[in-house]
Amino acid sequence: MKKYVITGSVGHISKPVIEGLIKAGNDVKVITSNPGKVKEIESLGANALTGSLFDAAFVTKAFEGTEVVYTMVPPIWQTNDWKASQLEIVQNYVQALKANKSVKYIVNLSSVGAHLGSGTGPIDAVSALEKELNKLSGIQVKHLRPTFFFYNFLSQLPMLKHAGIMGGNYGEQKIALVDPKDIAEAALEELLKLDFNGNSVRYIA
């Protein structure tokens, strides 16, 4: 049995990961900013840690005594500076990991395009997180780089209904799609096996 901390509450990716880790007999703590999710988390057999990723002290406390952490930078809708808000979370992760030497493994949800470093909008922040995690000594890191979530196209349903078209700026460029279930499966596999060393990347499509 290993001790895990999972970020992402009970989202499309995190929930199947939590279920798989619990089924395998592990001790799982789940960070959520929504008190309304506590009962659902506990019903899965995990322990809920309610607080904000913007609270450095909370994140540091949450990581205490754990061996494996699943990190992700959540979408932040209520902000005037998306990148600055995301980078604040990145720094809180780094501070917490430096303070807790018990953490030996990280599976980090990143994104295709993170290798570019800048000019990719919200992906700039996950790129920054990759770079910061890679600087940490004594921790093995696996970065997951999924492609475009196929369900993002659901936002085009009103346009399809009223205009009969799908709008986009992709041109003739082909894009790879992914189901969040596939990401969860890959994340769970990495979290259970823990057979990666140093800093490595896994693409998911």
Give the pair of three-digit tokens for residue 64: 């205490």
- What is the tens place of the pLDDT at every residue in 51-73? 999 999 999 999 999 999 999 99
> Which stretches does DSSP call E strand in the chain?
3-6, 27-32, 47-50, 68-71, 105-109, 140-146, 148-149, 177-178, 199-204
How does pLDDT run across 2-46, given as a tens digit for each residue? 999 999 999 999 999 999 999 999 999 999 999 999 999 999 999
Q: For residue 65, which of 44, 94, 95, 96 has the smallest C-alpha distance?
A: 96
Domain segments of the chain: what residues? Answer: 3-204
At residue 191, does pLDDT exceed 80?
yes
pLDDT confidence bin for 132, thresholds 50/70/90: very high
Distance CA 19, CA 40 (A): 11
Nearest alpha carbon to residue 29 among 2, 67, 3:
3
Residue 59 exposure: Cα atoms within 13 Å on the Cβ side: 23
| Interval 126-155 mean pLDDT | 92
CATH architecture of 3-204: 3-Layer(aba) Sandwich (3.40)
Spatial separation of the C-alpha atoms in residues 5 and 148, rounded to whole Å: 26
